[in-house]
């Protein structure tokens, strides 16, 4: 995964679409959904770690 769009597409495969209109909140909710998918063992650890790192990096960019 290299973009937030790819994370959105991954979540979409599991029936999750997140759009609140606030980019920061969207990223936070996506991270929570990734965490839940990983806990339920629906995605592997590598996918979870890549997605989480990407989302946290994007959130840091927004805060700047």
30 with 57: CB under 8 angstroms?
no
Can you tell me the mean pLDDT for 25-38?
Answer: 97
Residues in the chain: 64
We report the CATH number of the domain holding residue 17 as 1.10.287.760
CA-to-CA distance for 64 and 50, rounded, in angstroms? 22
Can you tell me the mean pLDDT for 19-36?
Answer: 96
Can you tell me the mean pLDDT for 16-30?
Answer: 96
Confidence of residue 49 (pLDDT cuts 50, 70, 90): very high
Largest CA distance in the chain: 34
CA-to-CA distance for 4 and 2, rounded, in angstroms? 7
What total of structural domains would you count in the chain? 1
pLDDT at residue 64, rounded to an integer: 82
Q: What is the pTM of this model?
A: 0.91
CA-to-CA distance for 11 and 33, rounded, in angstroms? 8
pLDDT greater than 90 at residue 39: yes
Range of the domain at 47: 4-63
pLDDT greater than 90 at residue 1: no
């Amino acid at each position: 995964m290299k973009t937030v769009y790819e994370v959105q597409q991954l979540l979409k495969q599991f029936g999750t679409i997140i759009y609140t209109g606030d980019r920061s909140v969207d990223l936070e909710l996506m991270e929570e959904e990734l965490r839940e998918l990983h806990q339920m063992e629906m995605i592997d650890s590598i996918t979870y770690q890549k997605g989480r790192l990407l989302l946290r990096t994007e959130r840091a960019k927004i805060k700047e």
